[in-house]
């Protein structure tokens, strides 16, 4: 029986430690092809390249792992599009995985995340997809505690599938002294980033701004990704790209006058 074909991408770039971990684990399950950005693309959301050239080159960044790998000048969504329609145009991936991201993509961060945009782009293309993130922003983050769970989740996705038009958003707690308690299938917490803009001057005395701020969780529920992560569980949130607020259709039709 042929091994499943797994496409790997990310947003931290093809040289990031997180993607090396994900590739190694994915190789235990199937044949791996990598198409990832040639540099960091964090926070790009679902941006695509439409006004500039896109470059795609064979990469040696993962040569020691023995996988077919390409680096792309575009965004994570560009990478998945190029993979499906060019690199793998005569084949169909059985699964697309993105990450492992250096930093959380829980709650509202899913909207800004390049990691999850690669996964969501795959779902738009009709491919089962998972985005993996670790709640540790350090470049030297320790991913070792994620590996057995990444493999388990990938195997479950290959064996049982993922619902159509859905991408899974998987977040891991930062490695600590206690082992991970398990996996929780959750909803996205109601939370947001409270931004502040630090006004500064450059060496030419011109004004610029540096965005800072803090994460605020308004959600007290115990069925959310934020609750799971704080309590040392892995969170799994099924995400959809249909952003219709279905509950609002009736209210607008009943109350607005056109």
What is the per-residue pLDDT for 235?
A: 98
Average pLDDT value for residue range 86-95: 97
What is the per-residue pLDDT for 127?
A: 98
Q: What does pLDDT average to over the chain?
A: 95
Indicate left, alpha or beta for 14 from its phi (over 0: left) and psi (-120 to 50: alpha): alpha
What is the per-residue pLDDT for 186?
A: 97
- The continuous run of DSSP H or E covering 18 comes out as helix 17-27
Which of 157, 52, 151 is CA-nearest to residue 96?
157
Burial of 40 from C-beta contacts in 10 A (0-12 / 13-18 / 19+): middle
Average pLDDT value for residue range 180-188: 97
Terminal Cα distance for the chain, rounded: 59
What is the per-residue pLDDT for 44?
A: 84
E strand segments, 38-187: 56-58, 68-72, 95-102, 129-134, 166-172, 183-185
Neighbours of 28 (CB within 10 A): 12
Average pLDDT value for residue range 174-186: 95
Q: 92 and 5 in contact (C-beta within 8 Å)?
A: yes
Q: What is the pLDDT of residues 220-240, one digit of tens each?
A: 999 999 999 999 999 999 999
Q: Tokens 């390249």 belong to which residue?
A: 49
What is the per-residue pLDDT for 43?
A: 85
Quick one: pLDDT band at residue 42, thresholds 50, 70, 90? confident
Q: What is the pLDDT of residues 115-149, one digit of tens each?
A: 999 999 999 999 999 999 999 987 789 999 999 99
Which CATH homologous superfamily contains domain 5-189+220-255?
A: Survival protein SurE-like phosphatase/nucleotidase (3.40.1210.10)
Quick one: pLDDT band at residue 1, thresholds 50, 70, 90? confident
Which of 99, 165, 172 is CA-nearest to residue 131?
99
User: What single-letter DSSP state applies at residue 229?
Assistant: H
Q: 6 and 29 in contact (C-beta within 8 Å)?
A: yes
Query: CB under 8 Å to 250, separation ≥6 — which residues?
Result: none
Q: What is the pLDDT of residues 186-220, one digit of tens each?
A: 999 999 988 899 999 999 999 999 998 888 899 99
Q: Is 42 annotated as a binding residue?
A: yes
- Stretch among 70-74, 159-163, 190-194 having the lowest mean pLDDT: 190-194
What is the per-residue pLDDT for 209?
A: 95
What is the per-residue pLDDT for 2?
A: 84
Domain locations in the chain as residue ranges: 5-189+220-255
Alpha carbon of 105 to those of 82, 134, 135, 189, 226: distances in Å? 24, 8, 8, 11, 10
Q: Is 12 annotated as a binding residue?
A: yes
Q: Is 11 annotated as a binding residue?
A: yes
What is the per-residue pLDDT for 148?
A: 97
Which of 184, 193, 175 is CA-nearest to residue 233?
184
Q: Tokens 């977040």 belong to which residue?
A: 171
Q: Is 78 annotated as a binding residue?
A: no
Burial of 6 from C-beta contacts in 10 A (0-12 / 13-18 / 19+): buried
């Amino acid at each position: 029986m042929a091994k499943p074909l797994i496409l790997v991408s990310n947003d931290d770039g093809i040289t990031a430690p997180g993607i090396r971990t994900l590739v190694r684990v994915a190789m235990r399950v199937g044949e791996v092809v990598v198409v990832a950005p040639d540099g960091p693309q964090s926070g790009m959301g679902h941006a695509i390249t439409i006004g500039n050239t896109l470059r795609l080159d064979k990469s040696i960044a993962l040569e020691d792992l023995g996988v077919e790998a390409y680096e792309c000048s575009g965004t994570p969504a560009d990478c998945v599009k190029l993979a499906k329609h060019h690199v793998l145009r005569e084949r169909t991936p059985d699964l697309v995985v993105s990450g492992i991201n250096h930093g959380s993509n829980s709650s509202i961060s899913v909207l800004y995340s390049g990691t999850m945009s690669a996964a969501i782009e795959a779902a738009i293309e009709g491919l089962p997809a998972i985005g993996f993130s670790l709640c540790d922003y350090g470049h030297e983050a320790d991913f070792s505690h994620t590996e057995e769970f990444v493999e388990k989740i990938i195997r479950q996705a290959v064996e049982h599938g993922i619902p159509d038009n859905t991408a899974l958003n998987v977040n891991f707690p930062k490695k600590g002294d206690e082992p991970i308690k398990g996996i929780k299938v959750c909803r996205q917490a109601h939370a947001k980033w409270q931004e502040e803009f630090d006004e500064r001057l450059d060496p030419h005395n011109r004004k610029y701004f540096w965005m800072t701020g803090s994460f605020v969780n308004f959600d007290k529920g115990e069925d959310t990704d934020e609750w799971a992560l704080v309590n040392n569980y892995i969170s799994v949130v099924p995400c959809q790209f249909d952003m219709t607020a279905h509950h609002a259709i009736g209210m607008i039709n009943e109350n607005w006058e056109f």
